[in-house]
C-alpha cells in the first residue's frame, strides 16, 4: 500500500438532485496525494453521480470541489480535464482501428505541434512504460492488443493529460485476474508519482487489496471514510447496507421439487467470460442470476439464447438439444430473449407501440400472408392489457413513451406467446423508475404463474429478493451458489462482490 501525503483533493457537501431524486446529498471526503481511494456503495448509492461531478459531466447543485486547495468550477469535461482530472470510464473510449500512439493523443488538449507523432514519441513511450506496456509498439494497431492492455492504454492516455486526480470507474470489471493485476500495478505506479486516485469498484476483494482508504456511500450520502487496514469484506457490506434488519427473501412455496425441468444447461462455457455453467429450470418459476458487471450472468443468458457463437456446452429444452450459437434454433425451441439494450437491440423507437408488440408474432395475426385486422386488434388489446399500457396510445411511437413504459413494450413482446417456454431477460429493469419496475415484476410473475420459465439477471438486491424464487449468484464467470430457500441480502451481496467464502472466512 502506498504511503499517503498531503490532502490533494477535497470534496465538501456535494449535492445533486435529478427531479425529485436526491442522487447525492452532503457528500464530503478527501483524497491525499499518492493515495488510492476507493468509492463503494450498492446500486444507486450515488457513486456515478459523484464521479460525474468530479469529471465535469454534471454540475453540483451545492458544495465544493477543491484540488490542491483551489476551489474549482468543473462545468464541462474539458474544464475538468484542464484542471487536472482524468477519467477512465467503464466504457473504454480508445479506438480499435487507430494505432496505440494515435489513441494516446486522442482528446489531448495540447493539440498542435507537440502532439505531432514524431515530436510526441518519447513522451508517449514514457506513458506506456509507466503502466507496464513497455513491450507494446507505439505504431501497433490497438486492435492487436488484448482487452486488459487496451484498458492500460486508456489509463496511460489519462496520465498523458497531466492528471492530478485520476478516476477509475470499475476498471477491472470485465478483466481476467491476470489482466486486473496489470491494472493494479499501473495504478500503484501512478499513485507513487504523487497523484490522487479515486477507484470505483464493486469488487470488494480488490478494494481491500489495493486501496488505502475507502469512502462508502448509501442512499446518496457518505456513510464513512475508513482506512482499509481495519476493514473486512463483511464490515464493508455492513457499511454498504446498514445495520437495519436485513431483508430475507421470502419463501414462495415454490420449492426445488415440482414439474420436470424444461431447460437444462450443462457445462456452458464462453472463453474468458463463463466457465462451466450448469442449471436446470422448472416451469412456473422465476430464477435470477445475480452478478455484477463481469460476473458472466449476461453472457450466460446470451449464450442460452444462441447469441454467442463461441459458446460451448449442452443446452436442452424439454429434452431436445439446442446447439449453442444458433439463435434461430433457440427461438424454435421456445427460448425468447430480452436484451439489456432496448434501444439498439430490440425496439424500433419510431414505429408504433402496436407494431413493436406484434412484429414478432406475425403468423398469429396474418391470414394468407396478409394482416387480418380482427386478429391483429384482438392480439393487440390482449397484449396491451397484459403489459399494463394505455390502449389509446398504441398508434404512438415507442419513442414517445417513458423509459419504464418502453421497457414494458420490450418485455411484453415475449409474453402471452404459447411458443415461448423460457423467457430470458438481461437486467430487465435497468434505468426504469420504481413504478415501472414494480409493473414489470408483476408481468414476469404473471408469466411464471401461467407456466413460463423466467430467468433474469440483475445486480439489484431488492429486485432479487422481491422477484426471484431461486437466486444463483455469479462472480468472475462462475456460479458461487444456488439459493433455493430463504437468503438474506448481505449474503447475496457478499457472493456477488467477492465470490465464494474461503475456508478461513467460512469458519469465522
Ligand X SMILES: Nc1ncnc2c1ncn2[C@@H]1O[C@H](COP(=O)(O)OP(=O)(O)OP(=O)(O)O)[C@@H](O)[C@H]1O
Does the protein bind ligand X through residue 348 (CB under 6 A)? Answer: no
CA pair distance 149, 155, nearest whole angstrom: 10
Are residues 40 and 240 in contact, defined by beta-carbon separation less than 8 angstroms? yes
Nearer to ligand X, 4 or 458 (CB): 458
Nearer to ligand X, 85 or 357 (CB): 85
CA pair distance 90, 407, nearest whole angstrom: 23
User: What letter does residue 248 receive in the DSSP assignment?
Assistant: B
Please state the closest distance from residue 430 (CB atom) to ligand X, in A. 9
Please state the closest distance from residue 87 (CB atom) to ligand X, in A. 14
> Which long-range CB contacts under 8 A does 14-18 form with residues at least 24 apart?
14/50, 14/53, 14/60, 14/62, 14/63, 14/64, 14/65, 15/60, 15/61, 15/62, 15/63, 16/49, 16/53, 16/58, 16/60, 16/61, 17/61
| Binding flags for ligand X, 45-84, as an x/- string (CB under 6 A) | xxxxx-----------------------------------
Nearer to ligand X, 22 or 82 (CB): 22
| Binding flags for ligand X, 157-176, as an x/- string (CB under 6 A) | --------------------
CA pair distance 124, 146, nearest whole angstrom: 19
CA pair distance 284, 348, nearest whole angstrom: 30
CA pair distance 236, 259, nearest whole angstrom: 41
| Binding flags for ligand X, 87-126, as an x/- string (CB under 6 A) | ----------------------------------------
Are residues 262 and 453 in contact, defined by beta-carbon separation less than 8 angstroms? yes
Please state the closest distance from residue 309 (CB atom) to ligand X, in A. 30
- Please tell me the count of residues contacting ligand X according to CB under 6 A: 11
Nearer to ligand X, 261 or 462 (CB): 462
Nearer to ligand X, 365 or 474 (CB): 474
Which grid cell sits at 365?
395475426
Are residues 381 and 373 in contact, defined by beta-carbon separation less than 8 angstroms? no
What is the 3-state composition of the chain as percent helix, strand, coil, each rounded to the nearest 5? Answer: 35, 25, 35
Nearer to ligand X, 70 or 91 (CB): 91
CA pair distance 96, 52, nearest whole angstrom: 25
Please state the closest distance from residue 426 (CB atom) to ligand X, in A. 15
Nearer to ligand X, 39 or 470 (CB): 39
Which grid cell sits at 508?
469465522
Nearer to ligand X, 448 or 493 (CB): 493
Are residues 483 and 471 in contact, defined by beta-carbon separation less than 8 angstroms? yes
Are residues 407 and 429 in contact, defined by beta-carbon separation less than 8 angstroms? yes
Region 272-331 residues binding ligand X, contact defined as CB under 6 A: none
Region 12-51 residues binding ligand X, contact defined as CB under 6 A: 18, 21, 23, 41, 43-49
Nearer to ligand X, 43 or 312 (CB): 43
Of the CA atoms within 13 Å of residue 503, those in its CB half-sphere come to 0
Binding site for ligand X (CB under 6 A): 18, 21, 23, 41, 43-49
Amino acid at each position: 500500500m502506498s504511503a499517503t501525503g498531503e490532502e490533494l483533493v477535497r470534496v465538501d457537501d456535494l449535492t445533486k438532485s435529478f427531479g425529485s431524486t436526491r442522487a447525492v446529498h452532503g457528500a464530503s471526503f478527501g483524497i491525499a496525494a499518492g493515495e488510492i481511494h476507493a468509492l463503494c456503495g450498492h446500486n444507486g448509492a450515488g457513486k456515478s453521480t459523484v464521479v460525474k461531478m468530479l469529471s465535469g459531466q454534471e454540475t453540483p447543485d451545492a458544495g465544493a470541489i477543491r484540488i490542491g486547495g483551489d476551489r474549482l468550477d468543473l462545468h464541462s469535461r474539458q474544464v475538468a480535464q484542464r484542471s487536472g482530472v482524468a477519467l477512465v470510464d467503464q466504457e473504454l473510449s480508445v479506438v480499435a482501428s487507430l494505432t496505440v500512439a494515435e489513441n494516446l493523443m486522442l482528446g489531448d488538449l495540447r493539440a498542435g505541434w507537440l502532439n505531432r507523432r514524431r515530436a510526441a514519441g518519447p513522451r508517449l513511450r514514457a506513458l506506456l512504460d509507466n503502466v507496464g506496456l513497455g513491450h507494446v509498439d507505439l505504431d501497433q494497431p490497438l486492435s492487436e492488443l488484448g482487452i486488459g492492455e487496451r484498458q492500460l492504454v486508456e489509463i496511460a492516455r489519462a496520465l498523458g493529460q497531466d492528471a492530478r486526480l485520476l478516476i477509475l470507474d470499475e476498471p477491472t470489471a470485465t478483466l481476467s485476474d491476470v489482466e486486473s493485476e496489470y491494472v493494479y500495478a499501473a495504478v500503484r505506479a501512478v499513485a507513487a508519482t504523487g497523484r490522487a486516485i479515486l477507484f470505483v469498484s464493486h469488487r470488494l476483494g480488490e478494494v481491500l487489496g489495493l486501496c488505502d482508504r475507502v469512502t462508502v456511500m448509501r442512499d446518496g450520502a457518505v456513510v464513512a471514510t475508513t482506512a482499509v487496514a481495519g476493514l473486512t469484506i463483511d464490515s464493508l457490506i455492513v457499511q454498504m447496507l446498514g445495520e437495519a434488519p436485513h431483508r430475507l427473501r421470502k419463501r414462495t412455496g415454490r420449492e426445488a421439487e415440482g414439474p420436470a425441468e424444461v431447460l437444462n444447461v450443462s457445462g456452458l462455457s464462453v472463453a474468458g467470460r463463463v466457465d462451466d455453467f450448469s442449471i436446470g429450470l422448472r416451469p412456473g418459476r422465476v430464477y435470477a442470476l445475480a452478478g455484477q458487471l463481469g460476473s458472466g450472468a449476461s453472457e450466460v443468458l446470451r449464450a442460452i439464447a444462441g447469441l454467442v457463437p463461441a459458446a460451448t456446452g449442452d443446452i436442452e429444452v424439454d429434452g431436445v438439444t439446442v446447439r449453442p450459437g444458433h439463435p434461430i434454433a433457440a427461438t424454435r425451441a421456445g427460448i425468447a430473449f430480452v436484451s439489456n439494450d432496448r434501444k439498439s437491440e430490440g425496439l424500433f423507437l419510431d414505429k408504433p407501440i402496436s407494431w413493436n408488440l406484434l412484429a414478432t408474432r406475425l403468423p398469429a395475426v396474418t391470414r394468407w400472408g396478409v394482416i387480418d385486422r380482427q386478429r391483429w386488434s384482438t392480439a393487440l388489446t390482449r397484449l396491451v392489457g397484459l403489459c399494463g399500457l394505455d390502449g389509446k396510445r398504441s398508434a404512438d411511437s415507442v419513442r414517445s413513451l417513458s423509459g419504464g413504459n418502453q421497457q414494458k413494450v420490450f418485455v411484453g413482446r415475449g409474453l402471452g406467446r404459447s411458443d415461448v417456454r423460457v423467457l430470458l431477460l438481461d437486467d430487465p429493469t435497468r434505468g426504469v423508475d420504481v413504478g415501472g419496475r414494480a409493473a414489470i415484476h408483476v408481468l414476469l410473475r404473471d408469466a411464471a404463474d401461467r407456466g413460463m420459465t423466467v430467468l433474469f439477471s440483475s445486480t439489484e438486491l431488492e429486485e432479487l429478493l422481491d422477484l426471484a424464487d431461486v437466486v444463483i449468484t455469479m462472480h468472475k464467470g462462475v456460479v458461487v451458489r444456488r439459493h433455493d430457500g430463504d437468503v438474506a441480502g448481505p449474503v447475496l451481496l457478499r457472493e456477488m462482490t467477492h465470490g465464494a467464502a474461503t475456508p478461513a472466512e467460512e469458519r469465522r
